[in-house]
Structures are given as C-alpha cells and as structure tokens.
Chain A
Amino acid sequence: MSALTDDLPLLTVDRLGKNYGSRIGCRDVSFELYAGEVLAVVGESGSGKSTLLSLLSTQLQPTAGAIRYRMRDGSVRDVFELSQAERRFLMRTDWGFVHQDAAQGLRMAVSAGANVGERLMAVGDRHYGNIRHAALDWLGRVEIEADRIDDAPRSFSGGMRQRLQIARNLVTNPRLVFMDEPTGGLDVSVQARLLDLLRGLVADLGLSVIIVTHDLAVARLLSHRIMVMRQGRVIETGLTDQVLDDPREPYTQLLVSSVLQV
C-alpha cells in the first residue's frame, strides 16, 4: 500500500442516522477512521452505540447518511451500495466482527480448527494441510494449545472461546475489525489476559478497530480515540487519554467518575 493512500481514511462515516419508527436509534454520527487506529465507542446501554455498530458493520440499513470504505484495491466505495455478494465477501475477508457472545460468532458444534479455517475455505483455499497449518498458527497466536484444535468450542472456557473468535476473524488478515463488548461477561483476570492479547495483536497487525464498550477501562487500554454517545448522539470525542482525564461534557464527567473509581 502506498504512503499516499495511507493518508486517506480507511472508513468515513457521514451523518449516519437510524430511526426505529419514531424512536431514534442514533443520529448524525460522523467520523473518520485511519489505518491502524482503534476507536472506542462508549456510553450506557440505550445510548445508541450498539445501533451504530450494527450500522457500521452493515447489519442494519441506515435511515440517513453514508459510510465509505477504502477497499483493498484503493477504490472508495459506499458500503450500502455494494452488492450483497460484495458486502458478504468484504465481511469475511477484509472485515472482522467479534461478538460479545462467542456463540454468535463461532460455530459451536464444529472444531476449533474448522472455525479458524472456515474463512480460508470460503475464499477458496482447498489444501487441507495448509488450512490446518494456518489454524494451528492462529491458535498459537491467541494462546490456545495446539492439541485443542480438534475440540469444539463447546468444551472451551469463556476466555478461550473469545480468543478463538478473534483467531477466526483474523485468519484472513482483515484491515478493519468491529468488536462488541469483547470482554463482557468474563472474569476480571480473564478480561485482563484477553485485553493484553488484543492490544498486542492490534499493534502487531496494524489493525483498525471500532470497539463498542460500556467499560471505560477497556477503552483506555485499547483505544487511541474515544467517542462518547448519549441518547443516540455523539456528545464528546477526542483522544482517549484526553477525554478520560479531562472530560468536558458533564455527562462524560459523570461516566468517568462513576466507572473509573471502581
């Protein structure tokens, strides 16, 4: 990739909005995301952050605005104007999605190796040995023992499932990964290990990440920039340390003081 295109944002979100009938899901969200950048979207439940994530990952159709993505070939496309085939292809190659509930992102009845290998097979890899090798490699990178490769994730602990889900997403070297509360529901010690791993992977691979979380500690540890949402709108945005150390909006102040003290 040339330095020239690296100056361009990977993702441009322009006045994005979603209404559910008369109720507002989110409104007027604009931002740019550059390669290698991690953006945290924080807010309480009902703030619109999950709606936003569903829009960004094209699982929901917006009622207003546009999302432009710089494809691997350098062309910039409106993701909602991609054909269904293009969009599904994008989602299983250049994008990843890590769900809070690993069962939603994994095939629970299929072995760990096949879970990791599925994306490779989906894009046409037809060599069992290579697929297995790639799966072993990725299991290692997410710290899952090689001898678990033929076990189904049903037998995995919560933390392992989450790491497996990450490996399954990263095997095609995506450039953009969406994460929905990836540490939610895990024990504190397990969370710490997972966050550590994620931080390492994101830095090593130069991933762009949009992570939705209600946990400001997660945002501080992983993200470069932060967006605070309330009632469907972005109320504050900036560098993570800046926003968390010196929040401007009274709501953000409340959020920071109530959570970070714990």
Chain B
Amino acid sequence: MTTLHPGYNFAYLDEQTKRMIRRAILKAVAIPGYQVPFASREMPMPYGWGTGGVQVTAAILGEGDVLKVIDQGSDDTTNAVSIRKFFEKTAGVETTTETARATVIQTRHRIPETALQEGQTIVYQVPIPEPLRFLEPRETETRTMHGLEEYGLMHVKLYEDIATHGHIATTYAYPVKVNGRYLMDPSPTPKFDNPKMDMSPALQLFGAGREKRIYAIPPYTKVVSLDFEDHPFEVNKFDKPCALCAAEGVYLDEVILDDAGGRMFVCSDTDYCETRRAEGHRGEMLGEAPAFVSREPAE
C-alpha cells in the first residue's frame, strides 16, 4: 500500500467536514430523491470531475472498506484511475475492480452489471442534480416545483419527444420518480441502467460538488422511470452479444476498429467482461480484437 499523504486527514477531508456531509446524507436518505444542499468543499480535482462523489465517498469511507471506482463502466478509464489513486493515497483503503467484493463503489455514468447486494453502497458522481434544470433554469422556481410536486413540465418534454421522434428521445439522465414523490436525475447513466435502481438492495448516494447537492435512494426503494401509459419506458437493446465475452442483456460500447467501418460491440463493464472471459465465455471476436480493446497483454 502506498504511504499516506502526510498532513492530510484520513480520506482527505477533515472530520468536521465529514460530519457535515454525513448529516446531509442522513437527511437525503430520510427523504428519498430530495436534493439536500450541502457546503461542498473545494477538492483537489476540478469541479465536474467527480468532486461531489469524492466528498460523499470520503465522508462514508472507513478503514475496513473496499473501494471500487468506475467511469463509463470501466475501472481503468483515466478519471477512475485518478480517483482510485486519490483514495489509495489519502485513505489507504483496499481497492478492487471486483464489483461483488467492493463495499463502496464510486461511479460515473454506469451501474455495474453484477447486481448490487445488501450492505454495498454505490456513490454516483452528478454534474447537474436538478432534473428540471433544462426546462426551468431558475433554482427558486424548480425548488417550488419540487415542493409542490408540480412535475407536469417534465412530461411536456417527453410529450415533445414522442411528437417529434415517435419515441421518448431521452437516452441518459432519464428522469425517475423516487418513492412516489420526488422527481430525480439519476446522473448521466444510460437509461439502460434505470431499472437497476429500482428496489436495489444497495444504498445509492448521489453527490454533486459544483452544484452543492446530495441526494439518496435508500435500499429497497421504488424508482420509476417516467413515461406515458401508451409509450412505456423501454431500455435500449443491443442486436448482438458482447464480442469478447458473449454476454447478453448488458450495456455495450461501440469500438471502431479501422477507418473502413469496422466496429465491434463490447461490454462497457470491463470487470464483468473479464470475469466472464476468465470463466470461459467466448465472444465471436475474442482473440482477434486489438489489445487495447481486449486488454490482454500485448506481445
């Protein structure tokens, strides 16, 4: 384990700040989906790069925790590596890429394919916590709309999608209603992941650093994606299984192989994909894919 940064508290933040954040988290858990303002601190990474998630993780992390950090579903994207290293350095906790082993998972843009369990906490990095923001730019007005549960405007947006495109054209950050009360932005995860939030046994925490908001979905809470009765919510389906591990019903990344239109689809959740390959599952392009995709050691 790397030596801890001298001069900094465990997990970077001072204990007073952590207590403040934990109070906000408790309030958020008590009112599922409600955005709790908190005195977000400057962090040593830029706003918009996960400062909200990092503060939430820092506030809940204990010495015995096992941390997994993903970005776009992958453990080794640059920002995930950077945040994981940050906690290795400042908290010295054990880290893992294995979803099932992690007690705390910080994520940007995905929910792991492996179903989360009781006792696990997933921390989402949130850029814009307000689902109504792009329909109504004023905080004072959106606050009133939440207070009075006036969410008609959100359906106006969905109506427009259907009128224009024949479908609801929102593909990520797809709005959900939590516990039958608060409209919530699930962070820019693809809507593919929305059903995983519903009745999840894990605690789901959301941190928005720049916008200074924390919200939460306690375990086993109803999370419903907005839709119309005659245009029900649907998740995107992929035509083919993962080209490397043959997994179906998972979210796939499109990888362009050459400039002649060659492309393949592979699991966005790299840990899931690698685990399956280790178990002997073989996709149709396994072995042919370039090393940067399969992440098998290049010779």
Contact = CB atoms under 8 A, between A and B. Distances in A.
Contacts of A107: 156
Interface string A117-142: 11101110011110110000000000
A110 B156 contact: yes
Interface in A71-126: 84-85, 88, 92, 107, 110-111, 113-114, 117-119, 121-123, 126
Interface in B145-160: 147-148, 150, 152-153, 155-156, 159-160
Contacts of B147: 85
A249 interface: no
B140 interface: no
B278 interface: no
B148 A131 contact: no
A188 B57 CA distance: 66
Interface residues of B, number: 18
A150 interface: yes
Contacts of A118: 152-153, 156
Interface in A49-79: none
A127 B228 contact: yes
Contacts of B160: 110-111, 114
A127 B230 contact: yes
B164 interface: yes
Interface in B206-233: 227-231
Contacts of A110: 156, 160
B298 interface: no
B163 interface: yes
Contact of A114 (B144, B163, B227): B163
A127 B229 CA distance: 5
A131 B230 CA distance: 11
Nearest to B145: A88
B230 A128 contact: yes
B30 interface: no
Nearest to A107: B156
A88 B156 contact: no
Given A111-B160, A113-B159, A114-B159, A128 B152 contact: no
A110 B229 CA distance: 21
Given A85-B148, A88-B148, A111-B163, A126 B229 contact: yes
B152 A114 contact: no
Interface string B130-150: 000000000000001001101
B156 A121 contact: yes
B209 to A, nearest CB: 31
Contacts of B163: 111, 113-114, 132, 149-150
B159 A122 contact: no
A126 B153 CA distance: 12
Contacts of A126: 155, 227-229
Contacts of A129: 230
Contacts of B228: 126-128, 131
A88 B159 contact: no
Contacts of B150: 88, 122
B39 interface: no
A123 B150 CA distance: 9
A128 B162 contact: yes
A84 B143 CA distance: 13
A123 B148 CA distance: 12
A110 B135 CA distance: 11
B156 A123 contact: no
Contacts of A122: 150, 152-153
A145 to B, nearest CB: 16
A123 B229 contact: no
A113 B162 CA distance: 11
A181 B265 CA distance: 60
B230 A114 contact: no
B156 A114 contact: yes
Contacts of B164: 111, 150
A132 B144 CA distance: 28
A106 to B, nearest CB: 12
A155 to B, nearest CB: 14
Nearest to A113: B163
Nearest to A152: B160
Contact of A117 (B159, B227, B229, B230): B159
B181 to A, nearest CB: 14
Interface string B213-256: 00000000000000111110000000000000000000000000
A121 B153 CA distance: 8
Contacts of A117: 156, 159
Nearest to A131: B159
Interface string B163-181: 1100000000000000000
B250 to A, nearest CB: 30
Contacts of B155: 121, 126
A163 to B, nearest CB: 19
Nearest to A125: B155
A122 B156 CA distance: 9
Contacts of B153: 118, 122
Contacts of B144: 84
Given A118-B153, A150-B164, A128 B148 contact: no
In the complex, the 4 A-B pairs of residues with the closest C-beta atoms, listed nearest first:
A122-B152, A121-B155, A128-B228, A121-B152
